[in-house]
Each structure stands twice: as C-alpha cells, then as structure tokens.
Amino acid sequence: MDDAVPELPPAAEEEPAYDPAGPAPLNVPRTPTGAAEVDAALGRLGDADHLATDGHLEVYEDVHRGLRDALTALDVRPGPPVPARHPTITPQRDPSGRPL
C-alpha cells in the first residue's frame, strides 16, 4: 500500500477561491450627458468595478458630491439678462394709478 498523498493538478491550485466581497464589474452602461462635470462624476463609477464592496462607499460618496456640486453650480450661474422695459411716450402706471 502506498501512503503517498496524490498531488493536485496544477490548474486546481491556480484557481482563486470564491470571494463574495471581491471585485465584480457591474458593466452598467453610462450614456454621456454632454455636461463635462456630470460625465466625469459618472465615469468615476467605473472605479467601483475594480474594488471590493467595502471600497464602493468612498466612490459612491465622491460621485454624489460631484453631482451635487454640478447641480449647485447651476444655481450660481447668471441667467440671461432681463430685457429692459420698452420705452413709451405715456408714463407707465401701476394698477392703483401711481406712476412707475
């Protein structure tokens, strides 16, 4: 009787063990929006594909911060100039009859 332990085939030794928290690409398509800030933030989501799940939170918070900043910037930008009142010969009056 041979007491030698048989060796495992080389392929079985090289297979990585299953890790449920390991990186797994989601392959979610991201359609460009045309807004550079938004596209950059959405592109950052791809970084989560290469991280373990415990690293996703940092990426998601960074993306959320970038999107929030892009929305906030919309409120800061000046809008189109307000058109001037059309000049008239007769003075303008408010509903009570007082001149404006």
User: Mean pLDDT of residues grouped by 10 in the chain (100 residues)?
Assistant: 62 62 73 91 87 87 94 80 69 78
pLDDT of residue 4: 66
pLDDT at 30: 83
The pLDDT assigned to 14 comes to 64
Query: In this predicted structure, what is the pLDDT of residue 66?
Result: 93
What pLDDT is recorded for position 68? 94
What is the DSSP track for the chain? ---PPPPPPHHHHHSPPP-TTS-----------S-HHHHHHHHHGGGGGGS-GGGHHHHHHHHHHHHHHHHHHHHHS--PPPPPPPP-SSPPB-TTS-B-
